[in-house]
Structure 1
């Protein structure tokens, strides 16, 4: 996968893209990163990329010309257009399912804006996706794009040490992940559940599914509306709802 980031502050990405899993992903040739200051495509000697909004109002608006030129320069040699992602608080809420969808792409381009907003023609004619991390506003799109890039790249083949790891992540199954424990089995009187020490893998998997459902019910009931539940989980959910009412 190729990932391009268009930002006014490319130095913000130095540590994130060259550490931990992102560094390993590049070493394993699973992904390549390129961060471009789109002031280079401003088309004017002052490298100006923003202007006052028509009709008046507070703040400055990013101009269409530099972002169109920057994206077009990235895709000139490609027959297939890249997925162009606009980081914006008005965008679709980012989810694990969206991360899985993007992980299947060959080329992603992230647009990170600042100021008051974007010229609307960028939304209408340049981008393929508008994404948001949640119902809050950041100074710019850089931090949000870093989070999304991390969540996508870790899903690529040969990135994580264990290929099963992302399969059991919270949200990948539609539910939150089950509790995890490691050695020692008894820490200050706090003991690991006996079932995890039993060696009975069938019962352990059943326990994990039950705990995953229970945790989701307690913390994120909204996820259960569309979660694909087994017959056993459906019975357990009915029992949890009954106990909550009593």
Structure 2
């Protein structure tokens, strides 16, 4: 997969290139990341890429010409059949399902805004999709771009050795992941659930499913409304609720 990043702070992305999964995918030639600074594509002798807002108001806006010229240069190099994504607080919230759609594209261009964002005419003419990573404001699109790239890389086939670590992740099956434990098994009386220590994988899988469903019910009940639960899953949630409510009552 080819990811082209447009940013006025390309040096920031040196960090993500050293992430284990991204480094592995790059080494295997499963992923290629290139950086483009729009300052290099402006006719302004001072490399100016931002200007004041028409109509007044605080803050600066990234100008049309540098961004458009950068996008056109990239498309000329790699072909027009590419997805252009703009990281924006006005975009649709990034969901795990969206990543599966994005990785189907062989080439994507990620536009990182700064200041008050980018000229609306860029969005109207060149942006295929606006994506947000949450309902909050950051200084620019670079960190959201890193989030998106990391999510994408995890799902590129042959990047992660143990595929089970992906399929058991939170959100992969529409629910949160189950709790996990490591050594020591007894931490000052706080013990690891005994089912995890006995090696019966049928019981372990059932326990993990119940915990995953239960923790989703506690922390993200909205997710359960989006999936069609089986009879077995409904039964497990019911069992979890009874135990949870009893424990809660005893602690009151």
Runs of 5+ consecutive residues of structure 1 not aligned to the other structure: none
Distance 2:108 2:18 in 1: 18
CA RMSD of aligned residues (A): 2.0
In 1, are the aligned partners of 2:210 and 2:240 still within 8 Å (CA)? no
Alignment match, 2:115: 115
Alignment match, 1:192: 192
Q: Offset of 1:239 from its aligned partner?
A: 5.2
Q: Offset of 1:199 from its aligned partner?
A: 2.4
Alignment match, 1:49: 49
The 5-angstrom pairing of residues 168-183 of structure 1 reads: 168-183=168-183
Distance 1:204 1:168 in 2: 13
Alignment match, 2:82: 82
Alignment match, 1:223: 223
Alignment match, 1:160: 160
Aligned length: 246
Alignment match, 2:150: 150
In 2, are the aligned partners of 1:174 and 1:228 still within 8 Å (CA)? no
Alignment match, 1:139: 139
Q: Offset of 1:127 from its aligned partner?
A: 1.0
Q: Deviations over 1:5-34 (max 9, x none)?
A: 100011111122223222122112110111
Q: TM-score, normalised by structure 2?
A: 0.90
Q: Which moved more, 1:215-224 or 1:100-109?
A: 100-109
Distance 2:55 2:32 in 1: 42
Runs of 5+ consecutive residues of structure 2 not aligned to the other structure: none
1:209 aligns with 2:209: yes
Aligned pair in 2 of structure 1 residues 198, 227: CA closer, same or farther (>3 Å)?
Answer: same
Distance 1:38 1:77 in 2: 16
Q: Offset of 1:161 from its aligned partner?
A: 2.3
Distance 2:110 2:165 in 1: 26
